[in-house]
Amino acid sequence: MRLPSGLLVASVAAGLHSVAATLLAMPAAALQFGLAMLLALLGYVLASRDVRRVRWAVAAGLGFLAVVAAMRLFWYQGQVDELGWLTSGQGAAKTALLARWREMIDREMLAALGLALGVLCLAAGVLALPSRRRRRGVATTVLALLLFAWFGLNLARRLGRHPLPDLLGTVWPALLAALVTMGALALSGWRADRRWLLPVGLVLLSLVAADAYSDLAAAWSGWWVMTKPADGAFLATGVAVSTSSEGFPQLSQAIEVAIALAGAGLVAVGAVRSSREADAA
């Protein structure tokens, strides 16, 4: 078996193991297999021949996504090591809780920034492909506009509840990632491979970016409510505060992992295939 094909098979196998580990509630193993999938996929792109026009852009995108996976694995291991901390006193407990919450938000901002850089590089790979198919281009443009309208409506619902500058100052990396992926989706049909792997992958990555925005906005919203509660509101330390985002479908963690990994894989393989088809035409 040729090296690129072997790396692609290894990437698929690692991705399936990541989803299975998520189903079995094994977060560390899921992150490890997810990282292994992205690294194998990165090797597949770098080892593929005759794809110079997209190789480095797609490889850089996969590299940023792998860095995000590695950071999440590092953070998870750190959380496991820090389990069991206690703080006495209600005031001190609330302060510690809010500080911990803010640290989590900062980490999610960093992960969202890595996602944004990754999809920016993947979008650059899409733009490097020659435009060929008009009908498919119209289809993906319409689909991207529909996704953008859905995303915009849900974004508008949240903007009126909290200070806009503070909210955008936190969620901008995830918002950028969502807008970039939807823009790349709109252009992907003109440059798609015959099997439509590239557009399908970008649809999945658009959902991943939208979900990242949803989670980050919900986490910040809960933290903001805790730090500046409304008049007459009662919040007690130790009581769980729901951070579910209205308007966005709530999926199981295993499905979210599958969508993220499948999106990255389909975009990478689709870009490679589309580049080869363009050269052969």
Taking only the tens of pLDDT, the chain with its 281 residues reads 467 888 999 999 999 999 999 998 899 999 999 999 999 999 999 998 878 889 999 999 999 999 999 999 998 887 765 555 444 555 666 777 878 888 899 999 999 999 999 999 999 999 999 887 667 788 899 999 999 999 988 887 776 666 778 888 889 999 999 999 999 999 998 888 888 999 999 999 999 999 999 999 888 888 888 887 554 444 444 434 444 444 555 568 889 999 999 999 999 999 999 988 887 76
Rounded CA Rg of the chain: 20
Amino acid identity, position 2: R
> Is 168 within 8 Å of 106 (Cβ atoms)?
no
Report the half-sphere exposure of 24 (CA within 13 A, side-chain side): 11
> Is 48 within 8 Å of 55 (Cβ atoms)?
yes
pTM of the model: 0.87
Single out the residue of 225, 151, 139, 149 nearest to residue 185, CA to CA: 139
Burial 74-92, CB ≥16 within 10 A → b, else e: ebeeeeeeeeeeeeeeeee
Single out the residue of 268, 273, 119 nearest to residue 192, CA to CA: 273
Q: What SS3 state is found at 243?
A: coil
What six digits make up the tokens of 249? 């479908």
